[in-house]
Amino acid sequence: MTISATNRGLTNGACTSLTRPTNPTVGQIIFETDTRLQRVWLGSAWSLGYLHLAITSTIEVLIVAGGGSGARSDANGAGAGGAGGYLEGSLSVLPNISYTVTVGSGGLSRTSGSSGMNGNDSVFSTITALGGGGGGFGEGAAGLSGGSGGGAGPNSSGAGGSNQTNQATLTKYSNIGGTSTGLGGAGGAGGGAGSAVGNSATNVSGRASTITGTSVTYATGGIYQNGAGINGAANSGNGGSGTYQNNSGAGGSGVVVIRYPDTFLAARAVTGSPVITNPTGFRVYVFTGSGSITF
């Protein structure tokens, strides 16, 4: 937009740092949309300017990867899927930089006898939460390693390991899968963000977060299910159930959530259609699919 003085007085408004008025009048005010600075023409130069509202330099982030699917066995029990890796904490960000967001899908249900499938990674910029490990197939089988590990097959101490590590300034909450001492019985539960499961075929707690303004539990490990498989919920990062003679449970897809105080400007640009909310005092961007954000 071109802004210039007229015979009838000053014309103030928005422009960019490259399209400032070519014939400004002393006292004329502009707002640069690329720098977000408000400037005044001083007669020989534009003022240094000040931010109309500041751009945030720190954000809170929750990154949850896709959960692993459970194994299916037609001869005995099977291990459940581990939860997707869970990372949370605060990060420093820069203005006018596009940060990529990737939301990992969950591991697919197994429709014939096989180990579960690992979930897919979720990523913010260069920070990665690892997909959950698939459940172990068959007696004596180990669970697969992932963000949280998959549960072992029956009569196995081979719990899937947790490969998730702390990333930058974010803390990981991910654990190994469960084992199973039963012969031909239930497989181990998948690991979750809440705690390591140990020798168990029971549910594994996830981790609750209030980053969206309400308490939501993410990254719960799957369980062994003697019946139809139970899928992990969409955008939960939960593991799917292991099954006997039924299709196993698929892992739940992941999620990336960004929050910062509403005293700072809204994001300059977003792609991927995140859900944008404004709980008291904050701006929240919930990515349930891949995209980007620029502050």
pLDDT of residue 202: 55
pTM above 0.75, yes or no: yes
Instruction: Give 158-208 as a DSSP string.
Output: -PPPB----BTTEEE------BB--SSSPPPPPP-SS----B-SS----EE
3-class secondary structure, 246: coil
Query: Does the structure show a pLDDT above 60 at 278?
Result: yes
Query: Does the structure show a pLDDT above 60 at 196?
Result: no
3-class secondary structure, 273: coil
pLDDT of residue 236: 97
Q: Quick one: average pLDDT of 173-181?
A: 85
The span from the CA of 122 to the CA of 112, in Å, is 27
pLDDT tens digit sequence for 13-49: 889 999 999 999 999 999 887 877 889 999 999 998 8
pLDDT of residue 7: 43
Query: Does the structure show a pLDDT above 80 at 86?
Result: yes
Neighbours of 6 (CB within 10 A): 9
